[in-house]
Structure 1
Amino acid sequence: MEAIEAELARTVTGLKQNAADSRDIAGSGRGWAPRLAQESRLRQLDDRLARQPVEEAGAIDVEIERAVLLGALDRRQDAQQAFIDILRRQPTNFSALNEFGTLLTNMGAIDAACRVYSEAILHHPLNPMGHINLANLLLRANRHAEARGHYEAALRVDPEHAQAHQGLGAVLSDLGDRAGARHHFQKGFRDNAISTLPYRGTKPPVALLQLVSSGGGNIPTASFLDDCTFLTSVIVTDYLDPSIPLPPHQLIFNAIGDADLCEPALEAAVRLIARTTAPVINDPRAVMKTGRISNARLLRAIPGVKTPRTIAMARDSLAGPDGAVSIASQEFTFPLLLRSPGYHTGRNFILVETAAELSAAAAGLPGEDLLVIEYLDARGKDGNARKYRVMMIEDHIYPLHLAISQKWKVHYFTSDMADKPDHRLEEQRFLGDMPAVLGDKAIAALERIKVALDLEYAGIDFGIGRDGELLLFEANATMVIAPPDPDERWEYRRAAVGKILDAVVAMIMQKSAGASRA
């Protein structure tokens, strides 16, 4: 228990004020029946524990229920302390460890949650939920081998466990084994395609459906779908039985964003939205038009936009002895880019400098087909590559970040931003005055791309060419709005990111306000 508390102290210090704020909010709700029922139950448990010695049989279960309820009422700091008190007395209690891990995960204390789940597995290796909960966090951190081991351990205990199959499917999908992923998804989502997330608000929620794909390619929504405002039912569209009624909802948020990876899920989403009159954010029919090949072809017609020529070719052909000849026949020259479809954050995406490197490069990427992409040089006069990202929220374009790097593959969290004050100053200028930094030609191009995409939520990654034209890297819905870390170096970014998140929430609230529950 001491090790868990030490880990907790390191990871949740910054959460204490949030917890205090949450207590203030939690105490302000009035009149909503489910909330009143939870508060009534908490009073019953407090009265019972006041009259029942903690040593009596069944007392620990009452304490655990109380701690869980504190978390559900958004009194997270109180819930955290309650679990610590329980585990000091019964450090191997599986229910306490498992529920505490869930609370810490919801608080964002991931390292502490991993330690708690590991402790649960140590003492209860044959309980599949400990393995599954730890594996879910490992998968989130892209620690695929470790996550796979725990999902497989859970399935050895319970070969039909739906959540273990879902998680193992996600691992295999990320690793490029699409056939293996489908096998586990079929087992995991059969009769389990709809799940409703907990709601911790103080008044009646905004009920929405969040549509997702089983194999990834979804918009990350945790930063704006607050569980104190929204009652979210998540639907895995590619495994939904169409005979099952949809949960009550005022709005549909289609979070399926990757047209190259998610075609079956998007087709199922089109059928789903035909069953309801609720407003839809990101019509799946519009999302289906945003694949990389489609974007390269359609958006190049926009004045001021340069898109990279992009085609799909069989990986075996590229990796074979005639790969370079095949490339030349398509009028590609080196250097060029190879990418496995369906991956993001720079994974399975490489620069091939010469024909001699092509075979080995293609052989090392997953998937039957690879995207061959023209290399657009986004380096400035200083030799650094620059990648700008803007978000398009309904009718507005907002600057999100600028990443600067000496490397061709520019990803914000692996770029040189943290160590270069001059780079951060340049990003600050972009966030403060986007038109002045980008120029009229690029701004006009962004406006036209927004109209062409016809999405309420989307992002564009791009560079600026030497003549001021927009060098398009990516334009689709799968863009994450990640709040900055607490580090003071990122203080200048907070207002820009907060403005975007506020715009997303305002859009959702506005669209749901006039909708009757479907």
Structure 2
Amino acid sequence: MRCAFYRADLCPVGERLLARAQAHPDDANAWLDASFVLQLLGQRAAGLDVQHHALAIRSLYALPAPARTPTLNLLVLMGPGDFMANTPVEFLLQTSSIAATVQYVTPDLPLPEEVPDHDVLFVAIAQSDANALLLRDVARMLDGWPRPVVNRPEQIAHLSRDGVCAALDGAAGTLVPRTMRLDRAGAMQLTDDAFPLIVRPVDSHAGTDLQKVDDGTALHAYLATHPASEFYLAPFVDYSGPDGQFRKYRIVLIDGTPFICHLAISSHWMVHYLNAGMDDSAAKRAEEAAGMAAFDDGFARRHAAALAGIDSRMGLPYLGIDCAETRDGRLLIFEVDNAMVVHAMDDPGRYPYKGPVMERVFGAFEKMLHRVTSAASN
């Protein structure tokens, strides 16, 4: 992932892995690694096919051992899929002293009767239509589990866009645009007083096929070019600041405490960190650095009630939030998810302020796992 982030050529790595896998057909590690490389190269379908082959060989994998003597053994439950299908725990654990193994489960591959001994189990499976049955099955598998479980699957199941909207309805200090899940026919029946809207296919992420439509004609044109059967639609909220810029925050809640992971600033309403021009603007980076330095006494304090409400209503010790501030001072919620990518891959020369901030996030995640383990043993 780091190589891809820095636009290094991954083809030689992929070729070596595939050659190794072909020479050793039972080498599940090689097949699984090759699946990740193929996905990073943009070959998603091929990567998932290779992943399926790897999981048919073996469903249990060890993450790289920590540099220090392990202080805790973590078992991570993941489901099959691309990089949005699970919490990216590899990033969260990269500086920790935790030894982790990943157990993949699928609807056809339940949790084995015997799993590695562990101190705590973390459910990394993300909410999606594809994972709905899997989350239900995992909840049954974990009923009465003898070790503490972090991020219960029955709570993760509520993280659909319309599910989050319902769960946070009336939460103090928040604005959660009313999200509708409609099939194609239902969307076609919307009247003009519903616009402007933002529309996306169900289970799309990272802005894929996300569009703002200002009237019924624009919505019909959108539907004509997108083959999905169901869509999420929500009112568009203009959250631009006095300078016309849009600011989107990525925050994680760990044991209820908020931590900032990035602040993206863009002239376009659909803000993603990689397309916001942060690399090219020293002024934007300076604002992000200042926002990070003042986060605890500024943003987190202004929205303390809203963030506490989200924590209590969602009931997940680890949770990601994409959000902004409205002009009237409320916390505008775009997405609440357990599988958002948070990382420390940014160039330290250009982003010297980010490393220490992300170390706090990783340290809090490790501390949370230790707290849960200690509480269970007392």
Alignment TM-score > 0.5, same fold:
yes
Give the alignment of 1:112-261 within 5 angstroms: 114-118=11-15, 134-141=34-41, 143-144=42-43, 148=46, 165-167=49-51, 189=55, 192-197=58-63, 199=65, 203=69, 206-216=72-82, 217-226=85-94, 229-241=98-110, 244-261=113-130
3-state SS in 1 of match to 2:169: helix
**Residue of structure 1 in register with 2:191 after alignment:** 328
Structure 2 residues without counterparts, runs of 5 or longer: none
Matched, 1:456 2:356: no
**Residue of structure 1 in register with 2:359 after alignment:** 498
Structure with the higher fraction of residues in helix conformation: 1
Mapped contact 1:197–1:234 kept (Cα < 8 A): no
Mapped contact 1:311–1:373 kept (Cα < 8 A): yes
Specify the code of the residue in structure 1 equivalent to 2:183: A
CA gap 1:315/1:193 in 2 versus in 1, 3 angstroms: farther
Match of 2:200 among 321, 332, 339: 339
CA gap 1:300/1:422 in 2 versus in 1, 3 angstroms: farther
Matched, 1:387 2:255: no
Count of aligned residue pairs for this structure pair: 371
How much does 1:336 deviate? 0.9
Instruction: Give the superposed CA RMSD.
Output: 3.4
How much does 1:338 deviate? 1.1
Give the alignment of 1:306-325 within 5 angstroms: 306-315=175-184, 318=187, 323=188
Counterparts of 1:426 and 1:351, CA distance in 2? 27
Instruction: After superposition, give the CA deviation of every residue in 1:251-290 in whole Å (9 maximum; x if it has no partner).
Output: 1111113255521121122112125221111111221222
CA gap 1:310/1:223 in 2 versus in 1, 3 angstroms: same
Mapped contact 2:320–2:339 kept (Cα < 8 A): yes
Counterparts of 1:398 and 1:467, CA distance in 2? 23
Give TM-score scaled by structure 2 length: 0.85
Structure 1 residues without counterparts, runs of 5 or longer: 1-103, 152-163, 168-184
CA gap 1:513/1:440 in 2 versus in 1, 3 angstroms: closer
3-state SS in 2 of match to 1:222: helix
Mapped contact 2:32–2:50 kept (Cα < 8 A): no
State, as a whole percentage, how many aligned pairs show the same letter. 26
Counterparts of 2:100 and 2:297, CA distance in 1? 41
Matched, 1:471 2:362: no
Instruction: After superposition, give the CA deviation of every residue in 1:9-44 in whole Å (9 maximum; x if it has no partner).
Output: xxxxxxxxxxxxxxxxxxxxxxxxxxxxxxxxxxxx
Q: Which has the higher contact order (CA 8 A, sep 6+)?
A: 2
Counterparts of 2:24 and 2:213, CA distance in 1? 47
Counterparts of 1:402 and 1:495, CA distance in 2? 15
How much does 1:191 deviate? 7.2
3-state SS in 2 of match to 1:417: coil
Counterparts of 2:135 and 2:149, CA distance in 1? 13
How much does 1:222 deviate? 0.9
**Residue of structure 2 in register with 1:274 after alignment:** 143
Structure with the higher fraction of residues in strand conformation: 2
CA gap 1:199/1:273 in 2 versus in 1, 3 angstroms: same
Mapped contact 1:207–1:230 kept (Cα < 8 A): yes
CA gap 1:244/1:432 in 2 versus in 1, 3 angstroms: same
Give TM-score scaled by structure 1 length: 0.63
How much does 1:125 deviate? 8.2
Mapped contact 1:237–1:269 kept (Cα < 8 A): no
Counterparts of 1:203 and 1:497, CA distance in 2? 22
Mapped contact 1:205–1:231 kept (Cα < 8 A): no
How much does 1:385 deviate? 1.1
How much does 1:137 deviate? 0.6
Counterparts of 1:166 and 1:374, CA distance in 2? 40
Counterparts of 1:423 and 1:109, CA distance in 2? 20
Counterparts of 2:86 and 2:252, CA distance in 1? 16
Specify the code of the residue in structure 2 equivalent to 1:328: T
Mapped contact 2:78–2:102 kept (Cα < 8 A): no
**Residue of structure 1 in register with 2:172 after alignment:** 303
Counterparts of 1:369 and 1:110, CA distance in 2? 34
Counterparts of 1:378 and 1:363, CA distance in 2? 29
